[in-house]
Amino acid sequence: MKEISAGGVVFRKHNQETQVQMIQDRYGKITLPKGKMEPGETVEQTALREILEETGIVGAIVKPLETIKYQFTMSGIGLVDKEVHYYLVEATGGDLHAQVEEIRGVEWLEPLEAWHQQKHAGYGNNDSVLKKALQSLGYEVN
């Protein structure tokens, strides 16, 4: 079985400072908003819908960042080939609030703080996605 999801690294300019959105998932890990593609959607539409649903933020895609592929086992189904498309997304509106049915919290962070949280409490396969996003925004991280 193949499952396609999409999401993004959301950023905004606030008081001349760049901020990056990070979420805490239901397992307490730091991650990026993403979710499954629905019938009839493009991956870009999926990314923007999931960001809006999970965080309350309306965004516009700036550019694609990366597609991550991995496998996991789902009970009753077996092996699932997962493909997640990530985009750099600029916040254009909405009000920040977590979709508590899916995630524990969402916040705006300074870019280097977002990187610190990702490295210490995030999923390893998101490192390269966030790094590419931060580089696109003018921040160098290791």
Q: pLDDT tens, position by position, for the chain (142 residues)?
A: 999 999 999 999 999 999 999 999 999 999 999 999 999 999 999 999 999 999 999 999 999 999 999 999 999 999 999 999 999 999 999 999 999 888 899 999 999 999 999 999 999 999 999 999 999 999 999 8
Q: Specify the pLDDT at position 93.
A: 97
Q: Specify the pLDDT at position 131.
A: 98
Q: Specify the pLDDT at position 140.
A: 93
Q: Specify the pLDDT at position 102.
A: 83
Domains in the chain: ranges and CATH: 2-136 (3.90.79.10)
Q: E-assigned strands of 1-141?
A: 2-14, 17-25, 30-31, 34-36, 57-74, 78-94, 103-109
Q: Exposed, middle or buried, 89 (CB in 10 Å: 0-12/13-18/19+)?
A: buried
pTM: predicted TM-score of the whole model, two decimal places: 0.93
